[in-house]
Amino acid sequence: MKMNVSLVRECTKNPAQVVVGMVNGITNIATIHRFDPNQGNLVLEIPTKGSNGKLSVFEKSIPQSDIAFVGFREQRLGQKKDKKYREFNIHLIGKQVFHVRANPDDLLNRPGFYATSISNQDLSKEFFFFSHAIIAREDREPLGMMMINSGIVDSIDLDAGVNQQISYKNAPIGQILVEQQIITSKKIEEAAKEQQAQAKRGKPMRLGEVLVEAGLATDDDIKKALAEQKNRKGKRLGEVLIELGVVKEVDVAQTLAAKFHLPFVDLDEMDLTPEAVSEIPLQMIEKYRVFPFQSTGSTLTVALSDPLAMEPLDMLRFSLNKSLVEVMVTPSQLERYISTYLSVSESENSGVKKGMDEILTDLNNENSDVNRAFSKEAFESTEDDSAVAQLVNRTFVDAHRQGASDIHVEPYGRTNDTVIRFRVDGICHVYQKIPAAFRDQVVARIKIMADMDITERRKPQDGKIRFKIGKRIVELRVATIPTVNGNEDVVLRILAGAGAMPLDKMSFSDKTLSRIKNMVTKPYGLILCVGPTGSGKTTTLHALVGHINDDTRKIWTAEDPVEITQAGLRQVQVKPDIDFTFAAAMRSFLRADPDVILVGEMRDLETASIGVEASLTGHLVLSTLHTNSAAETITRLIDMGLDPFSFSDALLGVLAQRLARRLCDNCKTSRLATSVEHKEIAHYYGPIGLEKYLDGKPLMLWSAKGCEHCKQKKYKGRIGLHELLIMDEQMRAAVQKKTPVDEMLKMARRKGMRTLLQDGIEKCIDGTTDLKQVLAVCSR
């Protein structure tokens, strides 16, 4: 690399005082003798006070890749206020923004450029910004003035746009209702007079309430108008000018590109690298509205339409191991490419080239005998691009995209449509209806993919499908169940292909998290995770094992099926049909030098007994059980036939859990709880405990209105509710005496255990969920 001598600062005679800003946000004040941004490290002399109070200096060498900027107290000699210099906002990693003057020709130089401060608050007169730490280089000239200077718009049209933007921000709800032709302006005037009259009577009402009460508008009309009013507040000048027809979308995008010194491109004319889209997770593309389209060994080029969206760029830089190159495109083109990728590009590798509506049309037009005989050979010879094959593949892709945990295929005879439903966040909803004539072909197609016997329709079958979506392999566990009237239902569970979740991300309360981390680091003992089917027990067990999974431990797992895989674990799929059960697997593990054993479920006395024996002989054992609460688990296992003395010595603790729907973070709001709500929550939580938890603060409750982010459902994702029963000497004595469940529960609560219901209420108060969802999954 050729050295750029002009960037070097020699300070040998008079060391320069500098402020060094790191990419992690830390700032150092130091002196330097020489600054050369082309070199690998920067040597700082940092003053520090010793234990004796005397000031001393120590040298510190910092890699320049870790430095965001260097600020100098003095400007370089000979630097002139060149007319070419312009004012810029320099946006750095960590949301720092500097207002400076710089030469526009220098902005894209590597390793960086010098700029002088124009802010009176900066102690530094001059900065050197490293290119690797810069998110955006924004020209401080207003967008409107730049468009005038470029001849895109004249001052008259610009003034009209600015006035329209102001009117958007201040548009009253009555004006919006008139614009939407929901109500006439005369009726609005009458309603406004009525509103004033009500205010004089001491009964102030909002205009929307007056209109609804008078029957002039519906609640839905008012909601839509309020939503429009909210949207208008966020409209930018460029959007307003486009709406007025004053400028074209491409003109605004090109001006924004110039303002932020980004290249402007037309994606239709670019060479797209097919693997580029797979380098950013689907969720990030969908959430942050960026589109990766070119990739090399060291760079990834992404298209964006909003250069002020700093969060996406920060997130991408954090998650990628290569340099990020940003280019500007028009918003409409960006949305077209993203939506095409989300709905088509990912599916093409799965044999899906069409949308569901087109597939159903082809299905009805397909010239085939829908009542043909069911032979395995007939269906194996079906081409992958047939309508039935595309329908099944499209269903799998859409279920994966929507985050569904299960797919339900439900035939209703030969006259009614077959219904396909997805379970998302624990709630089923109808995804698609297909003609009844094709019910058998769809079921047969799934059975062939799962390697089942399609001629056997009288008894249930189990199987598994490995399905490719893009470069990702998704596994589906398949179960068929014969139902009345000659139907055959299919339920497919989409198995979690990703690794274990970190414990810190699993919504444990701070106290529970601390206790469970302490428990899982014990060298031996038994830990149980309990709850109904679908409550996340397996996810929690893998998170616990993931927390202690390192090179020093040998960890065996026996599961049915293996839903989550982790590097470092030796995982086994049990097969009861060949008598390789959980108990048989555990006996084998004990001969294979284990430190930790994870057992999918303690279904019987034999498995439970081996688990207790293993935990008493120096192994940490984790397993699940289907019980309602932590205390009930103890009595269940004793009733199963376990020796209470051995069991109490082995058990470290029981974690009971549920999954409740999470409020949408995008549209949730808080309010003060009413006296009735306060009384109800105090009843469930315990009056004394609730007052102690609130600690004098008012009781606030949260609710969501519904938005595009949650598809008007008010909820997005799920949250774990937990209760953790820790074994100690008193609890062991209670187990040995076969103390009733109620007494053990009281004892555990006195020792600080939060019940499932209490943990849920705390998460209601914290704004994570609401009482309705907590009561739906917890016993009252």
Give residue-wise pLDDT tens across range 607-620: 999 999 999 999 99
> CA-CA distances (angstroms) from residue 473 to 270, 349, 397, 446, 486?
29, 11, 11, 17, 33
Q: Which residues pair with 483 in a beta bridge?
A: 487
Hey, CA dihedral for 301, 305, 310, 316, is it positive or negative?
A: negative
pLDDT band at 393 (very low <50, low <70, confident <90, very high): confident
**Other beta carbons less than 10 A from residue 750's beta carbon:** 9
Average pLDDT over residues 158-170: 63
Last residue of a domain, one of 211, 243, 275: 243
Is residue 671 in some structural domain?
no
- The pLDDT value recorded for residue 172 is 65
Q: Residue 611 in contact with residue 603, Cβ under 8 Å?
A: no
Judged on CB neighbours under 10 Å (0-12, 13-18, 19+), 754 is: buried
Six token digits for residue 707: 């938005």
- The pLDDT value recorded for residue 544 is 93
Say which range, 169-178, 263-272, 449-458, has the weakest mean pLDDT. Answer: 169-178
Q: Is 373's pLDDT higher than 70? A: no
Is residue 566 in some structural domain?
yes
> Each residue of 628-659: pLDDT tens digit?
899 999 999 998 899 999 999 999 999 999 99
d(CA 347, CA 683): 51
Last residue of a domain, one of 287, 321, 346: 346
Looking up residue 314, the CATH number of its domain turns out to be 3.30.300.160
Top pLDDT among 402 and 12 is at 402
Last residue of a domain, one of 494, 519, 546: 494
Say which range, 115-124, 419-428, 567-576, 692-701, has the weakest mean pLDDT. Answer: 115-124
Top pLDDT among 236 and 303 is at 303
Average pLDDT over residues 570-575: 89
Report which listed range, 210-224, 235-249, 307-321, 467-481, is most confident.
467-481
Top pLDDT among 513 and 211 is at 513
Query: Do residues 616 and 745 both lie within one domain?
Result: yes
> Each residue of 661-686: pLDDT tens digit?
999 887 888 889 999 999 999 999 98
Query: Do residues 154 and 239 both lie within one domain?
Result: yes
Structural domain tally of the chain? 5
Cβ neighbors of 247 (< 8 A, separation 6 or more) are 147, 152, 153, 157, 238, 241
Say which range, 60-74, 369-383, 436-450, 493-507, has the weakest mean pLDDT. Answer: 369-383
- The pLDDT value recorded for residue 471 is 53
Residue 376 has, within 13 A of its CA and on its CB side, a CA count of 10
Percentage of residues of the chain with pLDDT beyond 70: 80
- The pLDDT value recorded for residue 129 is 94
d(CA 593, CA 369): 59
Q: What is the DSSP string of 370-418?
A: TT----HHHHHTS-TTSHHHHHHHHHHHHHHHTT-SEEEEE--TTTSPE
Angle of CA points 632, 636, 640, to nearest 5°: 175
Six token digits for residue 92: 């750095």
Query: Do residues 646 and 508 both lie within one domain?
Result: yes
Q: Phi first, then psi: what are they for 408, rounded to 5°?
A: -115, 120
Average pLDDT over residues 176-201: 69
Residue 538: alpha-carbon gap to chain centroid: 20
Percentage of residues of the chain with pLDDT beyond 90: 25
Average pLDDT over residues 473-501: 84
d(CA 733, CA 621): 22
Q: Which residues pair with 462 in a beta bridge?
A: 479
Query: Do residues 648 and 509 both lie within one domain?
Result: yes
Q: Residue 393 in contact with residue 400, Cβ under 8 Å?
A: no
Radius of gyration for the alpha carbons in the chain, expressed in angstroms and rounded = 33
Q: What letter would DSSP give residue 755?
A: P
Q: Give the H or E element holding residue 548.
A: helix 537-548
Top pLDDT among 190 and 307 is at 307
Is residue 419 in some structural domain?
yes
- The pLDDT value recorded for residue 655 is 95
Q: Residue 502 in contact with residue 595, Cβ under 8 Å?
A: no
Q: What letter would DSSP give residue 551?
A: T
Residue type, 494: I
Query: Do residues 574 and 459 both lie within one domain?
Result: no
Is residue 449 in some structural domain?
yes
Q: Residue 169 in contact with residue 249, Cβ under 8 Å?
A: no
What is the chain's mean pLDDT, rounded? 81
Looking up residue 372, the CATH number of its domain turns out to be 3.30.450.90
> Each residue of 200-258: pLDDT tens digit?
676 676 766 766 776 667 777 777 776 666 665 555 666 666 666 666 777 778 888 88
Angle of CA points 20, 22, 24, to nearest 5°: 155
- The pLDDT value recorded for residue 371 is 44
Query: Do residues 328 and 451 both lie within one domain?
Result: no
Average pLDDT over residues 95-122: 86
Cβ neighbors of 629 (< 8 A, separation 6 or more) are 530, 656, 723, 741, 745, 755, 756, 779
Q: Give the H or E element holding residue 587.
A: helix 582-589
Q: Residue 257 in contact with residue 304, Cβ under 8 Å?
A: no
d(CA 656, CA 632): 10
Cβ neighbors of 340 (< 8 A, separation 6 or more) are none
Top pLDDT among 747 and 84 is at 747
Is residue 728 in some structural domain?
yes
- The pLDDT value recorded for residue 366 is 60
Is residue 29 in some structural domain?
yes
Query: If you search the block for the tokens 């049990």, which residue do you land on?
Result: 574
Is residue 371 in some structural domain?
yes
d(CA 342, CA 281): 11
Q: Residue 292 in contact with residue 298, Cβ under 8 Å?
A: no
> String of b and e for 139-175 (b: at least 16 CB within 10 Å)?
beeebbebbeeeebbeeebbebbeebbeebeebebbe
Q: Phi first, then psi: what are they for 721, rounded to 5°?
A: -115, 135
Query: Do residues 617 and 742 both lie within one domain?
Result: yes
Q: Minimal CA–CA distance to 304: which of 238, 253, 258?
A: 253
Six token digits for residue 63: 């890699």
Average pLDDT over residues 292-314: 81
Domain that holds residue 136: 5-140
> Each residue of 16-47: pLDDT tens digit?
888 999 888 888 888 888 888 888 888 888 87
Average pLDDT over residues 569-573: 90
Q: What is the DSSP string of 274-336?
A: GGGGGGS-HHHHHHHT-EEEEE-SSEEEEEES-TT-HHHHHHHHHH-SSEEEEEE--HHHHHH
- The pLDDT value recorded for residue 735 is 92
What is the C-alpha end-to-end distance of the chain, expressed in Å?
Answer: 71
Query: Do residues 615 and 725 both lie within one domain?
Result: yes
751: left (phi over 0), alpha (psi -120 to 50) or beta: alpha
d(CA 640, CA 634): 10
Q: Phi first, then psi: what are they for 500, rounded to 5°?
A: -70, 145
Looking up residue 546, the CATH number of its domain turns out to be 3.40.50.300
Q: Is 551's pLDDT higher than 80? A: yes
Residues 237-242: contacts with CB under 8 Å, at least 24 apart: 237/143, 237/144, 237/161, 237/162, 237/165, 238/143, 240/161, 240/164, 240/165, 240/168, 241/147, 241/153, 241/157, 241/158, 241/161
Query: Do residues 222 and 288 both lie within one domain?
Result: no
Query: Do residues 487 and 618 both lie within one domain?
Result: no
Q: What is the DSSP string of 696-715?
A: T---EEEEE---TTTTTSSE
Report which listed range, 349-358, 360-369, 399-408, 605-614, is most confident.
605-614
Is residue 768 in some structural domain?
no
d(CA 451, CA 660): 35
Query: Do residues 27 and 67 both lie within one domain?
Result: yes
Query: Do residues 271 and 361 both lie within one domain?
Result: no
Q: Is 541's pLDDT higher than 50? A: yes
